[in-house]
Amino acid sequence: MRAKQCALKQGFINCHDCGYLVKITQQLSSCPRCHSHLHERKPHSLQRTCALLLSSFFLYIPANIFPIMTVTQFGTGDAHTIAGGIIELIDGGMIPIGLLVLVASILVPSSKLIGISLLLLSVHFRWKINARRWTFMYRVIAFIGRWSMLDIFMISILVDLVDFTGVQIIAGPAAIAFAAVVILTMFAAENFDPRLLWDNQ
């Protein structure tokens, strides 16, 4: 393993879909192996990531303010926000599970929002960074995103099982906003091209 060089500067494009290395020529616009469109870098990576990130920031507010589910017991309703549900778990002595939900529903989404913002800023303003460490951060962000769906799946299970005459659990409006935040940040991470971190070095 030698040749510590950027493939693009050497005249090669790496296919996004199948990882095939293609020599840049004028007539070639799609990958000879998988026929997908060839791009030097993910197209409009910064603009798309930024748009998705801003929408998730915007939706993150209703996701935390409005109730994510309501427990009705014989006529009286008890609405929970995301944070309220965690506090209730910890108060009830279920500390490990409470901490798990805290990580999945609060720490992961907020650190993802901050992390992607930092990645965008560092590429846009060409910060002098340790690219290896930042690529690692990108990889962590891309990996943890899906685990925030925990709360959404849990609501679907609770809503389904706790459905008796008198006692019911109903999903609240924050569930839609929160699911949207999780999906939009996943798309944001997918659209960000970590190779941009290295191009600035």
Partner 1 sequence: MNSTSYQACPECDLLIDLVQPEIGEKIHCPRCGLLLLRPRKQSIERTFALSIAGLILFVPANFLPMVGITLLGKANTGILLSGVISLFNENMWPVSIVVFLASILFPLAHISLSLLISGHLYFNRCNRNLVSWMRWMHHLDEWVMLEVYMLSIIVACVKLMAISPLIIGWGLYAFIALIIVTALLTSSLDKELFWQRIEQLSRDNNHAS
The closest alpha carbon to 116, from 64, 192, 63, 43, belongs to 192
User: Is 123 in contact with 201 (CB distance < 8 Å)?
Assistant: no
Q: What is the H or E stretch that residue 14 is in? A: strand 12-14
Contact between 196 and Zn ion by CB under 5 A: the answer reads: no
Residues 19-48 that bind partner 1 (CB under 8 A): 19-23, 33-36
Q: Which two tokens stand for residue 55?
A: 């929408």
Interface with Zn ion in residues 31-60 (CB under 5 A): 31, 33-34
Nearer to partner 1, 54 or 157 (CB): 157
The residue within the footprint of Zn ion, chosen from 13, 15, 120, 197 (CB under 5 A), is 15
Using the rule CB under 5 A, which residue among 6, 10, 11, 18 binds Zn ion? 18
Binding mask 100-119 for partner 1 (x = CB under 8 A): xx--x---------------
Could you say which of partner 1, Zn ion, none residue 175 binds, taking C-beta under 5 to 8 angstroms by partner kind? partner 1
Residue 113 or 151 with smaller CB distance to partner 1: 151
Q: What is the size of the binding site for partner 1 (CB under 8 A)?
A: 71
Distances (CA, A) of 73 to 92, 94, 167, 174: 18, 22, 5, 21
DSSP state of 20: -
Nearer to Zn ion, 20 or 66 (CB): 20
Please give the torsion angle defined by the CA atoms of residues 6, 12, 17 and 18, in that order, rounded to the nearest 10 degrees. Answer: -100
